[in-house]
């Protein structure tokens, strides 16, 4: 009987909750969420493109793909605005990060 072992790689996710100030903490969390959100929205945009390509002229699928694409774009805009608001609030309060 032969025992096989597998070597696995470990993935380290940085903790966004480490910071010296509240403005730094909010900025770290916003940056972390921005990265996750942009990754998800990229996947959604690719999915919408696939639905467009495979719609075959079906108006319902084309409409669904357009809505999906618009929702992904709106999500990106909201994420970027949220990141901008954290920077604006930090500058308004005089915080440096």
Cβ atoms of 86 and 48 within 8 Å: the answer is no
Q: Which pLDDT tens digit goes with each residue over 20-47?
A: 777 777 778 888 888 999 999 999 999 9
Give me the pLDDT at residue 38, please.
Answer: 92
pTM for this model (two decimals): 0.69
Those residues with Cβ within 8 angstroms of residue 17's Cβ, 6 or more apart along the chain or in another chain: 25, 28, 29
| Cβ-proximal residues to 48 (8 Å cutoff; 6+ apart), any chain | 65, 66, 68, 69, 72
Q: CA nearest 36: which of 85, 88, 79, 87?
A: 79
Residue 24 CA, distance from chain mean position: 19
Residue pair 30/36 in contact by the 8 Å Cβ criterion = no
> Which tens digit of pLDDT belongs to each residue from 54-88?
998 899 999 999 999 999 999 999 989 988 887 78
pLDDT at 95: 57
Query: Domain segments of the chain: what residues?
Result: 44-92
């Amino acid at each position: 009987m032969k025992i096989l072992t597998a070597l696995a790689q470990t993935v380290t996710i940085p903790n966004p909750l480490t910071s010296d100030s509240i403005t730094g903490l909010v900025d770290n969390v916003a940056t972390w969420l921005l990265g996750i959100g942009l990754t998800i929205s990229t996947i959604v945009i690719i999915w919408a493109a696939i639905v467009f390509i495979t719609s075959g002229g079906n108006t319902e699928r084309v409409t669904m793909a357009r809505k999906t694409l618009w929702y992904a774009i709106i999500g990106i805009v909201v994420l970027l605005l949220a990141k901008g608001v954290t920077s604006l609030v930090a500058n308004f309060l005089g915080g440096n990060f």
